[in-house]
Amino acid sequence: MEKRLLTVEELGTYLSLPKSSIYTMVCNRKIPRECVVKIGRVLRFEREAIDKWISGKRSCPGS
C-alpha cells in the first residue's frame, strides 16, 4: 500500500530534488497549494495531486 502523504524528504527523493529546493518551491508557490497539506508546522504532500501536477508539466517534443 502506497502512502497518501509524502514528507519533504520523501518528495525530494520522488522528484530527485534536495529538501531545500522543495521548501523554496513551496514558498515561491511553484508547487500548487492543492498538493500541500500543512499539519501544524509540518508540511506533507498529496501523492496523487503531485502526480497530476507533474503530468500537467510534461511537454511534448517538437511542440
Q: Which pLDDT value is given to residue 8? A: 97
pLDDT band of 34, cuts 50, 70, 90:
very high
- Residue ranges covered by each domain of the chain: 5-56
- Residue 6, φ and ψ in degrees, nearest 5: -105, 145
Sign, CA dihedral 21-22-25-30, equals positive
Report pTM: 0.83
So what's the architecture of 5-56 in CATH? Alpha-Beta Complex (3.90)
8/21 Cα distance (integer angstroms) = 10
Q: Which pLDDT value is given to residue 57? A: 78
Q: Is the pLDDT of residue 59 over 70?
A: no
Give the residues across from 36 on adjacent strands. 45
pLDDT in tens, 8-22: 999 999 999 999 999
53/56 Cα distance (integer angstroms) = 5
Q: Is the pLDDT of residue 28 over 60?
A: yes
